Structure 1
Amino acid sequence: MMSEQRRLHPAAIIFNFIKAIREALFVIIISFISFKDDYLFYYLLVVAGLVLIILTISVLSWYRYTYRLVDDELQIEYGIIVRKKRYISKNRIQSIDLTASVIHRIFKLVKVQIETAGSGMSAEATLKAVTVGQGEQLRRELKVVQQGEGGEDFTRNQEELDSPSKQISWNRLFVAGSTSGSIGVILALLAFGLSEIEQFLPDQFFNQTFEWVIGLGISIVIVLAIIVLFVLYLLGIAGTMIKYGNFTIQKNKEELFITRGLLEKKQLTIPLKRIQAIGVQESIIRQPLGYVTVFAEVAGGSLDKGEDFSTVLFPIMKREEVDAFLQEFIPTYVSERTKLHPLPKRALKFYLFRSVIPFFIVAALVLYFYPQFIWGPVILLLASLYLGLLRHRAGGFRTEEKLLTIRYRVLSKNTMIIVHKRIQSYEKKQHKLQKSQQLATLNLSIIGKLGVGKHYKLKDLAVNDVDLLADWYSYRKKG
């Protein structure tokens, strides 16, 4: 038990400094654009003074931040002028995650993030830079479950556990990157970035660029566009491989350990008791190839991990491998997910109608502004009708003794497996058109990340089916 007070590694000064500079970067750039012509010298003086102040605060913040373990309690003291103390009992800790960015790995350090049930938007405590050995020691002493001895690489300890483990292959990782659809996200970010930069660049620059592009000729422009799209596609693949490189999931008693990342190595701890639902996602791109992503909805947690609102348990696997994966790691959630009760045929018209609403909006705008491009909305209409058909075909449910499985589609097809006791609320809804067709919509809620509700909706089920599900939820017996 470490009872003496300790400071973080001096590299924490670097992390404090980088964080403060990043937060002030936008103001620095805007100020440079505003004062670069007439007041550049004074601007540089102010920036130099600001950097010196940030560096001084970073050093003092590191020096005044101490931690120690006393009687199964982590005690943290921090604050330059106003001293604050935080006490975290071992019994309140839900998970302890270790992360190593590129800078951490250079100095052989890790970041320790400690979460409790009430962590909220951020972790209960974050030790920005400690040695690998100290990080492992903290995890051992703060967790009831013993997890091996400290060592050179914090991922090695988990590999030595006598427990189930599964690692993604590089071939599968490449498939995950090439089918991730991240090129759309990159294009959206690029368009947003260009729209923001545009206001700071002179009009002459855009006029010259436009004239240069026109002068190239249509064939060269098309070739350049293809090259740009291909480069963005490769960037999407690289981003996925960097994020999920060396992805490994391991189970040790009542916890799952996930290690991933090439540049920033993350190790996440997921207590099984905090899992509220298991999801199987099939994107439009991956579904024809038979690949899925398995994820979990975990109660509590924070956004400090850099994770999405759902935690990926395995980035990509074949559809037929899912049951064996769940049986090995989370047997409670094994269900007959392929044998679902489908939506009634009379619900199809509702799905088709909802899907073509975007068509009418786009068609109206195009007809008003660009009537010569009316073929665009026609293509959108066909795509919308097909999407509505896919959503109707995807919808379904199944109840087992303690499990509810529902399937729905927005763009990707999602199958959610929920244990009965995790369902927080059940609601039945009907509008007049649904009543005339003997249909209804069900809403389910569970506890999601940050402790807020996570909601699932299955539209246009037969009323009898919704009532049967209500009986199952309320433990009511028929007759």
Structure 2
Amino acid sequence: MSEQKRLHPAAVFFNFIRVVKEAAFAIILGFISFKDSAFMYFILGASAILILMILFSILSWYRYTYRVEDDELRIEYGIFVRKKRYISKNRIQSIDLTSSVIHRIFKLTRVNIETAGSSTGAEASLKAVKLSEGEALRRELKTVSTVEQDNEPEDAEEDWPSSTITFKRLFIAGTTSGSIGVILAIAAFGSSELEQFIPDDFYDSTFEWIIELGITIMIVLGLIGLLLLWILGIAGTMIKYGNFTITKMEDELFITRGLLEKKQLTIPMKRIQAVGIQESLIRQPLGYVTVFAEIAGGSMDKGEDFSSILFPIMKADEVEPFLQKFLPEYAGITNDLTPLPKRARKFYLLRSSILFLIVTGVIAFVLPTFIWLPLIVLAGSAYLGILRHKDGGFRQDDKKLTVRYRFLSRNTITMYHKRVQAFEKKQHRVHVHQRLANVRLSIIGKMGMGKHFTVKELEESDVNQIADWYSYRE
């Protein structure tokens, strides 16, 4: 693959869409400003800009070339100023293939190449190449030589451990995802942005219509709206994680997922800093968990999670067999932990309830009729504080350390000593008197940023033990 190649001509379309997105705000602003007085001039100006955008997209595609030569991926691009980017095979951390709906119609894919220095975006991105060429490029850029790959037996792929999510589990993941809150937040933000474009008469007539419906019908409509949002949450999860498959090939994990946009993600196991399981308030009583990994370096493309999902949902008793199959060095994460001392419970209750306790006092003084509402919230926050105390803990196993904590979801994290970048012990005066301490552990996360795990109100002697473990002190 030493000859220069261009992207598929469909890249012109993707370039054009990108340019339109960047200029969308200016176009909308121009339309609002000139729609009455000089609308014809706006149309002429917009037409000229549209033609320039198309020409820019075509020239960007024509001037963009790539090739693999001397163990390097060499990319040349730029219309007026020619730029060259050389990426050595040794620097490449992962190569991901992403296929949107348009890509899949034309049997294309997008190749994202990440190095240790990648931050908010991939080091290099080939927007549109044939799927066969993308797969060939990924094989070519692997550190294992092509000769060694050709000498492998043809049935070697059958020995690669693999696991695929079932439709039933995918549906359960959607129904318990809790994404209704996210959808409500997006809807609220969208309505606030669109409010300035909607006439006031529309709001007045709509408000009068709602008042005329009556309380009962309003409640029914509200429940129907929540049901529709719940269904949208289920659909979003199933589209995102549809056909989720994880495969272990030598020293890498390959993840394929997505119904509309198909993604093939590569996770080098040497970049895994920690492995954890997450149990939400909805899934924990049902016995379901999500398995994830914290990955060092790499990029944070738009829409991706800060933690890499290794499997969206599984039964809690399936975690150990899963880890034994794919990451045996992290097995044992579900073993019993050393719990927090009982005298630490008052700190968790106070932190969870103090704000709502103040609000309850204010409402009791100002609006005593509605005192029942903050009391319910106060009881819920107190219960959450009890859960946080109950679920906190740690376990030290030779070179591994496991910690567990809860904010809303319960998280259990296992990490190796060599992955811990920083250790912090923190105490205030009350802690000293109670012989308690907080511990904070830091590892490298995505974009090279630190990822921190904090467990509060541990026994001071246990924190000192972890400090000795971290500092190699006997």
User: How would you bin the TM-score normalised by the shorter chain?
Assistant: over 0.9
1:140 is the counterpart of 2:139: yes
Residues 353 and 201 (structure 1 numbering): CA distance in 2 closer, same or farther, change over 3 Å? same
Instruction: Tell me the equivalent position of 1:293.
Output: 290
1:46 Cα offset (Å):
2.4
Q: Does the 8 Å contact 1:337/1:405 carry over to 2?
A: no
Question: CA-atom RMSD, angstroms?
Answer: 2.0
Instruction: Tell me the equivalent position of 1:154.
Output: none
Aligned counterparts of 1:432 and 1:47: Cα–Cα separation in 2: 66
Instruction: Tell me the equivalent position of 1:57.
Output: 56
Aligned counterparts of 1:147 and 1:99: Cα–Cα separation in 2: 23
1:326 Cα offset (Å):
0.5
> What do the CA deviations read for 1:406-450 (whole angstroms, capped 9, x no partner)?
000000000001011100111110001111111000010000000
Residue 99 of structure 1 aligns with an amino acid whose one-letter code is: T
Q: Does the 8 Å contact 1:113/1:126 carry over to 2?
A: yes
Instruction: Tell me the equivalent position of 1:241.
Output: 238
Query: Pick from 383, 386, 392: which aligns with 1:386?
Result: 383
Residue 77 of structure 2 aligns with an amino acid whose one-letter code is: Y
> What do the CA deviations read for 1:89-135 (whole angstroms, capped 9, x no partner)?
11111111111100111111110011111112211110000111111
Query: Pick from 335, 345, 348: which aligns with 1:348?
Result: 345
Query: Pick from 186, 202, 227: which aligns with 1:189?
Result: 186
1:365 Cα offset (Å):
6.5
Greater displacement, 166-175 / 366-375: 366-375
1:19 is the counterpart of 2:18: yes
1:147 Cα offset (Å):
9.1
Residues 374 and 50 (structure 1 numbering): CA distance in 2 closer, same or farther, change over 3 Å? farther
Instruction: Tell me the equivalent position of 1:424.
Output: 421
1:212 is the counterpart of 2:192: no
Instruction: Tell me the equivalent position of 1:437.
Output: 434
Aligned counterparts of 1:366 and 1:34: Cα–Cα separation in 2: 47
Aligned counterparts of 2:230 and 2:35: Cα–Cα separation in 1: 37
- Structure 2: state its 5+ residue gaps: none
The 5 Å alignment of 1:63-462 reads 63-145=62-144, 160=157, 162-304=159-301, 306-360=303-357, 362-363=359-360, 366=363, 372-462=369-459
> What do the CA deviations read for 1:382-413 (whole angstroms, capped 9, x no partner)?
01100000000000000001110000000000
Aligned counterparts of 2:431 and 2:265: Cα–Cα separation in 1: 44
Aligned counterparts of 2:159 and 2:429: Cα–Cα separation in 1: 58
Residues 274 and 221 (structure 1 numbering): CA distance in 2 closer, same or farther, change over 3 Å? same
Instruction: Tell me the equivalent position of 2:41.
Output: 42
1:168 Cα offset (Å):
0.1
Q: Does the 8 Å contact 1:425/1:446 carry over to 2?
A: yes
Percent identity reads 64
Secondary structure at 1:324 match in 2: helix
Q: Does the 8 Å contact 2:333/2:414 carry over to 1?
A: no
| TM-score, structure 2 normalization | 0.95
> What do the CA deviations read for 1:438-473 (whole angstroms, capped 9, x no partner)?
100001000000011101110000100000111111
Aligned counterparts of 2:392 and 2:145: Cα–Cα separation in 1: 44
Residues 61 and 437 (structure 1 numbering): CA distance in 2 closer, same or farther, change over 3 Å? same
Q: Does the 8 Å contact 1:158/1:250 carry over to 2?
A: no
Q: Does the 8 Å contact 2:320/2:334 carry over to 1?
A: no
- Structure 1: state its 5+ residue gaps: 151-156
- Residue-pair matches, total: 469
> What do the CA deviations read for 1:153-212 (whole angstroms, capped 9, x no partner)?
xxxx99945300000000000000000000110011101111111122221111111011
Q: Does the 8 Å contact 1:72/1:141 carry over to 2?
A: no
Secondary structure at 1:214 match in 2: helix
Residues 122 and 82 (structure 1 numbering): CA distance in 2 closer, same or farther, change over 3 Å? same
| TM-score, structure 1 normalization | 0.94
Aligned counterparts of 1:32 and 1:368: Cα–Cα separation in 2: 52
Greater displacement, 376-385 / 49-58: 49-58
Q: Does the 8 Å contact 1:335/1:405 carry over to 2?
A: no
Residue 187 of structure 1 aligns with an amino acid whose one-letter code is: L
Q: Does the 8 Å contact 1:15/1:128 carry over to 2?
A: yes
